[in-house]
Protein backbone atom coordinates (compact mmCIF):
# COMPACT_ATOMS: atom_id res chain seq x y z
CA UNK A 1 0.00 0.00 0.00
CA UNK A 2 1.76 3.05 -1.24
CA UNK A 3 0.98 6.46 0.05
CA UNK A 4 0.00 5.34 3.57
CA UNK A 5 2.09 6.58 6.42
CA UNK A 6 3.07 4.37 9.29
CA UNK A 7 1.80 5.05 12.80
CA UNK A 8 5.31 5.87 14.02
CA UNK A 9 5.69 8.69 11.52
CA UNK A 10 2.35 10.23 12.54
CA UNK A 11 3.30 10.10 16.20
CA UNK A 12 6.63 11.80 15.50
CA UNK A 13 4.90 14.56 13.55
CA UNK A 14 2.36 15.04 16.33
CA UNK A 15 5.13 15.30 18.93
CA UNK A 16 7.13 17.66 16.74
CA UNK A 17 4.11 19.92 16.28
CA UNK A 18 3.27 20.00 20.00
CA UNK A 19 6.55 19.78 21.85
CA UNK A 20 5.24 21.45 25.01
CA UNK A 21 2.49 18.83 25.31
CA UNK A 22 5.00 16.01 24.74
CA UNK A 23 7.33 17.46 27.38
CA UNK A 24 4.43 17.73 29.82
CA UNK A 25 3.38 14.12 29.23
CA UNK A 26 6.99 12.95 29.65
CA UNK A 27 7.32 14.92 32.91
CA UNK A 28 4.09 13.41 34.27
CA UNK A 29 5.35 9.92 33.38
CA UNK A 30 8.71 10.54 35.11
CA UNK A 31 7.04 11.90 38.24
CA UNK A 32 4.61 8.96 38.24
CA UNK A 33 7.51 6.50 38.01
CA UNK A 34 9.34 8.32 40.79
CA UNK A 35 6.30 8.23 43.06
CA UNK A 36 5.86 4.51 42.33
CA UNK A 37 9.51 3.91 43.28
CA UNK A 38 9.03 5.90 46.49
CA UNK A 39 5.91 3.97 47.47
CA UNK A 40 7.62 0.67 46.72
CA UNK A 41 10.73 1.66 48.70
CA UNK A 42 8.60 2.88 51.58
CA UNK A 43 6.59 -0.33 51.73
CA UNK A 44 9.41 -2.78 50.94
CA UNK A 45 9.41 -5.57 53.48
CA UNK A 46 6.42 -4.20 55.33
CA UNK A 47 3.58 -6.38 56.43
CA UNK A 48 0.66 -6.01 58.77
CA UNK A 49 0.88 -2.61 60.42
CA UNK A 50 3.74 -1.51 58.13
CA UNK A 51 6.81 -2.57 60.08
CA UNK A 52 10.25 -3.68 58.96
CA UNK A 53 13.37 -5.02 60.65
CA UNK A 54 16.35 -2.77 61.41
CA UNK A 55 19.73 -3.22 63.09
CA UNK A 56 22.15 -0.86 64.85
CA UNK A 57 24.90 -3.44 65.44
CA UNK A 58 25.77 -4.69 61.94
CA UNK A 59 23.11 -7.38 61.96
CA UNK A 60 24.01 -9.10 65.22
CA UNK A 61 20.57 -8.22 66.58
CA UNK A 62 17.51 -6.61 65.01
CA UNK A 63 14.36 -4.77 66.04
CA UNK A 64 11.09 -3.69 64.43
CA UNK A 65 10.12 -0.15 63.53
CA UNK A 66 8.00 1.65 60.97
CA UNK A 67 8.75 0.61 57.38
CA UNK A 68 8.35 4.26 56.35
CA UNK A 69 11.60 5.20 58.09
CA UNK A 70 14.45 5.75 55.65
CA UNK A 71 17.66 4.02 56.74
CA UNK A 72 20.03 5.04 58.04
CA UNK A 73 18.20 6.86 60.80
CA UNK A 74 19.35 7.59 64.33
CA UNK A 75 18.31 5.22 67.09
CA UNK A 76 19.80 5.82 70.53
CA UNK A 77 22.80 7.58 69.00
CA UNK A 78 23.57 4.82 66.46
CA UNK A 79 22.70 4.55 62.78
CA UNK A 80 19.91 2.04 62.14
CA UNK A 81 19.99 0.13 58.85
CA UNK A 82 17.25 -1.98 57.24
CA UNK A 83 17.84 -5.63 58.19
CA UNK A 84 16.69 -8.27 55.71
CA UNK A 85 15.86 -11.18 58.00
CA UNK A 86 15.69 -14.83 56.95
CA UNK A 87 14.51 -17.93 58.77
CA UNK A 88 17.01 -20.78 58.75
CA UNK A 89 16.09 -24.01 60.51
CA UNK A 90 13.69 -22.20 62.86
CA UNK A 91 16.16 -19.42 63.71
CA UNK A 92 15.97 -15.84 62.37
CA UNK A 93 19.18 -14.30 61.06
CA UNK A 94 20.08 -11.11 59.21
CA UNK A 95 21.07 -12.00 55.65
CA UNK A 96 22.03 -8.51 54.57
CA UNK A 97 21.58 -4.83 55.45
CA UNK A 98 20.48 -1.93 53.27
CA UNK A 99 20.62 1.86 53.47
CA UNK A 100 19.88 4.86 51.29
CA UNK A 101 22.59 7.25 50.17
CA UNK A 102 22.18 10.83 51.47
CA UNK A 103 21.14 12.20 48.06
CA UNK A 104 18.48 9.46 47.77
CA UNK A 105 17.05 10.36 51.19
CA UNK A 106 16.95 14.03 50.14
CA UNK A 107 15.09 13.14 46.91
CA UNK A 108 12.57 10.94 48.78
CA UNK A 109 11.97 13.59 51.46
CA UNK A 110 11.47 16.20 48.73
CA UNK A 111 8.86 13.96 47.09
CA UNK A 112 7.01 13.60 50.39
CA UNK A 113 7.07 17.38 50.90
CA UNK A 114 5.81 18.00 47.35
CA UNK A 115 3.02 15.42 47.65
CA UNK A 116 0.65 17.76 49.51
CA UNK A 117 1.35 20.81 47.33
CA UNK A 118 0.07 19.42 44.04
CA UNK A 119 3.41 20.29 42.43
CA UNK A 120 5.95 17.72 41.22
CA UNK A 121 9.27 17.34 43.06
CA UNK A 122 12.04 19.60 41.75
CA UNK A 123 14.29 16.67 40.84
CA UNK A 124 12.20 13.89 39.25
CA UNK A 125 15.26 12.35 37.55
CA UNK A 126 17.06 12.02 40.90
CA UNK A 127 13.95 10.49 42.42
CA UNK A 128 13.63 8.02 39.54
CA UNK A 129 17.24 6.89 40.11
CA UNK A 130 16.74 6.14 43.83
CA UNK A 131 15.92 2.45 43.30
CA UNK A 132 19.05 1.85 41.25
CA UNK A 133 21.74 4.25 42.41
CA UNK A 134 20.45 5.43 45.77
CA UNK A 135 20.44 2.10 47.62
CA UNK A 136 23.47 0.38 49.14
CA UNK A 137 23.63 -3.13 50.59
CA UNK A 138 26.12 -5.28 52.50
CA UNK A 139 26.38 -8.51 54.41
CA UNK A 140 26.75 -8.33 58.19
CA UNK A 141 30.41 -8.11 59.07
CA UNK A 142 31.47 -6.93 55.59
CA UNK A 143 33.73 -3.87 55.72
CA UNK A 144 32.16 -1.96 52.82
CA UNK A 145 28.76 -1.19 51.30
CA UNK A 146 28.01 -2.03 47.64
CA UNK A 147 25.77 0.02 45.42
CA UNK A 148 22.59 -1.65 44.19
CA UNK A 149 23.55 -0.53 40.66
CA UNK A 150 26.39 -3.10 40.55
CA UNK A 151 24.44 -6.23 39.53
CA UNK A 152 27.26 -8.69 40.24
CA UNK A 153 27.93 -7.44 43.76
CA UNK A 154 24.23 -6.94 44.53
CA UNK A 155 23.39 -10.50 43.47
CA UNK A 156 26.20 -11.96 45.56
CA UNK A 157 24.93 -10.08 48.62
CA UNK A 158 21.19 -10.65 48.11
CA UNK A 159 21.47 -14.40 47.43
CA UNK A 160 21.54 -15.57 51.02
CA UNK A 161 22.42 -19.10 52.08
CA UNK A 162 21.63 -20.36 55.58
CA UNK A 163 24.67 -21.17 57.71
CA UNK A 164 23.11 -24.52 58.67
CA UNK A 165 22.45 -25.51 55.02
CA UNK A 166 18.66 -25.20 55.29
CA UNK A 167 16.60 -23.31 52.73
CA UNK A 168 16.27 -19.62 53.68
CA UNK A 169 12.90 -17.87 53.78
CA UNK A 170 12.82 -14.07 54.07
CA UNK A 171 10.48 -13.07 56.88
CA UNK A 172 8.67 -9.88 57.80
CA UNK A 173 7.79 -8.67 61.28
Sorted by where each begins, the domain ranges of the chain are 7-170
Does residue 160 surpass a pLDDT of 70?
yes
How high is the pLDDT of residue 85?
97
Average pLDDT, the chain: 81
Please tell me which residue, 49 or 93, carries the higher pLDDT value.
93
pLDDT tens for 57-77 read 999 999 999 999 999 999 999
How high is the pLDDT of residue 43?
43
Q: Which residues pair with 97 in a beta bridge?
A: 83, 138
How high is the pLDDT of residue 30?
57
Would you say the pTM of this structure is higher than 0.85? no
Helices 19-43 and 102-115, axial angle in degrees (round to 10): 110
Amino acid sequence: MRGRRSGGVRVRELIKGRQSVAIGVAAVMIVGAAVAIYVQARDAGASGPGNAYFSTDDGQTFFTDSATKLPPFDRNGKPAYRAHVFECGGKRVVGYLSRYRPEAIAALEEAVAARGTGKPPRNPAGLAAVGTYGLEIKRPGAPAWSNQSDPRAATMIRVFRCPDGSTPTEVDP
